[in-house]
Chains A and B, each alone.
Chain A
Amino acid sequence: MSNAQLVLRQARFENKAFWRNPAAAFFTFAFPLLFLVIFSTLLGGGTSPSPTGEEIESTTYFIPAILSFAVVTACFTNIAIGISFSRDEGILKRLRGTPCPGWVYLAGRVLHAVFVNLILVVIVLIFGQVFYGVDIPLDTVAAFVLTLVLGAGAFCALGLAATCAVPNAEAAPAVVNVMVLPLLFLSGTFIPIGDAPQWIQTFAGLFPIKHFLDAMFESFLPPPDNPSGFVWSSIIVIALWGMAGLIIAVRFFRWAPSK
C-alpha cells in the first residue's frame, strides 16, 4: 500500500471508531450549535459591531463566529487532546514499532479531524440558514473555502504542536483549554470585541484565532470595499502560524508517554 493509501485508510478507521462512540460524536456536533443558540439568545434582538466596524444583527454575527469556534474545537482542541491521550495510552508507541511512518498516522488523524470539521461547518451553515435566516455566501465561496481549509490545516498543525506542551493525558484538557479559551474570548468569538479597548484587539491580533475570525467574517459578510471576501493579511498570518505549528510538531513531537 502506498503512503497516500495508508493515510486514507487510517482516516477511514478513525472515522469508524469515531461513530462508535455516539455520545462523543453527538456532543462534538451539538456543542457549537448549543453555543450558537446561547449567545444568539443572550445578545439577540440587538446589533453587534462586526470586525469591519459595521453594526450587524447579533444573530448574523454569531454564524461566522461560531463557525470559527467549531473549526478551532474540531481541529486544534480535538487533535491536541486526542493525540495526548493516544500518546499516554501507548497507541503512538505501538505504532512506532510498525513499518507505518509516523507522519502517515498523524496525517490520517488530521484528515479525519478535518472531515469532522467539514460536517460541523455544514451543520452550522444549515442551522443558521433555517433558524436565523443567514444566507450561505455564494459570491464569496472561494474566499470562504480557502479560509476554512487553510484554517483547519493550521489549527490541526497547532494542535499537534500543542501536544508537545502537554505533559500527560490528565493535564491535556486543562493545558489545551488554557491555550485556547482566553483567546477565543479575546478574539470576539463569543462576545463582539468591536467596542473593547484597543490593546485587547492588538493583543488578540498576535494570535491566529482573531485573524481566522476576521477572515471568516469577511468571506461570509463581505464589506462593500472587499467584494471578493479575501482578507489576505489575515490569511498570511494564519498560514504563518500553521507553519510554525508544523515546525514545532516535527521538531518536538513525542511518541512515547512521559514517565
Chain B
Amino acid sequence: MAIRAIEVKGLRKTYRKVEAVRGIDLHVEVGEVFALLGPNGAGKTTTVEILEGYRKRDAGEVQVLGTDPETNERSFKERIGIVLQETSVDPFFTVREVIELYGGFYPNPLPVDEAIEIVGLTDKADERIRRLSGGQQRRLDVALGLAGNPELLFLDEPTTGFDPSARRNAWQMVKDLQSLGKTILLTTHYMDEAQMLAGRVAVIARGEIVAEGPPDALGGRDVAGTKISFVLPPGSPSPPPQVAGNFQILGNSWRSETDAALPILHELTGWAVNNNVELRSLQVSQPTLEDVYLALTGGERDGASESQTVADLAGGKSETGRSR
C-alpha cells in the first residue's frame, strides 16, 4: 500500500485562549503539489509548522512521510526541506558556501552545483549573499531547502514580493521540482499561483479547512451557477416574463445566476435581436478561484453582497433570483 506523504486527522492547536487550528483533516499524496490557501491568521502557518516539526499539536493525528513530526527525529529532518519566510543566512558567505554548509547536514545532499542550477543562481554562485537582490535571496532560500535532496519540500509563500517575471521563473522552478518527483506543500495567498502549480488546493479560514479540491473545481466552482448580467438601456421594452423571471433587476442592471444558462441566453438574445434591443455589458461568467476564495474566507472585494452570493454558490445552492 502506497503511503501518503502527509496525513492529518483532527488537528487542533490552541494558543492561550485562541483556537488557531480547529480540527483540520488533510492529506497529500507522494509526488503531488498541494497548496494551502488562506488569509493571514487563518491557521495556515500554525498547521505547516506542526507538519515541519516546529510546533507541538494539542490534538489530532499527524503523519509526515510515515513519522510523527513532533518527535523531531533526525532521520525525519533528513527527508524534508523547509523554505520559510523571514529566515536568513550569514550574509558574508557566498551562495556556494552556504549551500555546501547546509547540504553537509544531510546524508545524501544534492550536488551543490545542481542545487544552484535548479534555482537559476549559477552566475551568482560565488557572490556574497549580502550582494544578492531580494528575489535572488529567495531563490537561495529554495536552494537551501533543496540542499539535502528532500522527498518532501515545504514552500512557504515562495513568491511573495516577486515581480511578475520573477514569479513566472519561480513557478517554472516549482514545476521542474515536481517533475523531479518531489512532493511539495505550498502555502500562498496568490490565487493564480495555486491555480498554476497545485494539483489540489485546500482553503483554510478561521482554523478550519473550508474547501478542498482541484483548483478548477474548488468550492463547487465547476458546477456552480453561471452568472449572466447586462444593462438594459432606459426606454427599452422589457424582456418577456419567461426571461425576466430568471433575473433580478436593480435599476437598469439585470443579473442572474443559473444552472440553465444556455436556454435563458438563447431566449434573451433571440428576444433582443428580434426587438432590436441593445444589451449593454452583457457578461456570462463562472465564479473565479478568487471569488470562491474570498467568499470562503469571508474577504470582501465588491462588497458584502457579492461575497454572500458566492458563499451561497460555493455551498452548492444555485437557484436563481435570490434577493441581494
**Chain A interface residues toward B at CB < 8 A:** 1, 6, 9-10, 13-14, 16-17, 20-21, 89-91, 93-94, 96-101, 256-257
Contacts and interface: CB of A to CB of B under 8 A. Distances in A.
Nearest to B75: A99
A16 B97 contact: yes
Nearest to B81: A97
Given A96-B54, A97-B52, A98-B148, A17 B92 contact: yes
29 contacts: A1-B104, A9-B101, A13-B93, A13-B101, A14-B90, A20-B92, A21-B92, A89-B87, A90-B86, A90-B88, A91-B87, A93-B84, A93-B87, A94-B82, A94-B84, A94-B87, A94-B88, A94-B89, A96-B54, A97-B53, A97-B80, A98-B102, A98-B105, A98-B106, A99-B75, A99-B78, A99-B105, A99-B106, A101-B74
Most central of A16, A17, A20, A256 by chain B CB within 10 Å? A17
B269 to A, nearest CB: 57
B314 interface: no
B286 to A, nearest CB: 40
Given A97-B52, A100-B105, A17 B90 contact: yes
A218 to B, nearest CB: 39
Ranked nearest first, the 9 interchain pairs of A and B with the lowest CB-CB distance are A90-B87, A97-B82, A94-B87, A99-B77, A17-B92, A20-B92, A100-B105, A89-B88, A98-B105
Interface residues of B, number: 26
B144 interface: yes
Contacts of A10: 101
Contacts, number: 64
A7 to B, nearest CB: 12
Contacts of A16: 92-93, 97
Contact of B54 (A14, A21, A97): A97
B167 interface: no
A102 B68 CA distance: 19
Interface in B71-118: 74-75, 77-78, 80, 82, 84, 86-90, 92-93, 97, 101-102, 104-106
Given A6-B105, A9-B101, A13-B97, 8 more contacts: A14-B90, A93-B54, A94-B84, A96-B54, A98-B77, A99-B78, A99-B148, A100-B105
A257 B78 CA distance: 24
Contacts of A89: 87-88
B87 A20 contact: no
B128 interface: yes
Contacts of B52: 97
Nearest to B80: A97
A93 B89 CA distance: 10
A96 B105 CA distance: 11
A9 B144 CA distance: 17
A98 B53 CA distance: 10
Nearest to B78: A99
B161 to A, nearest CB: 15
Contacts of B89: 91, 94
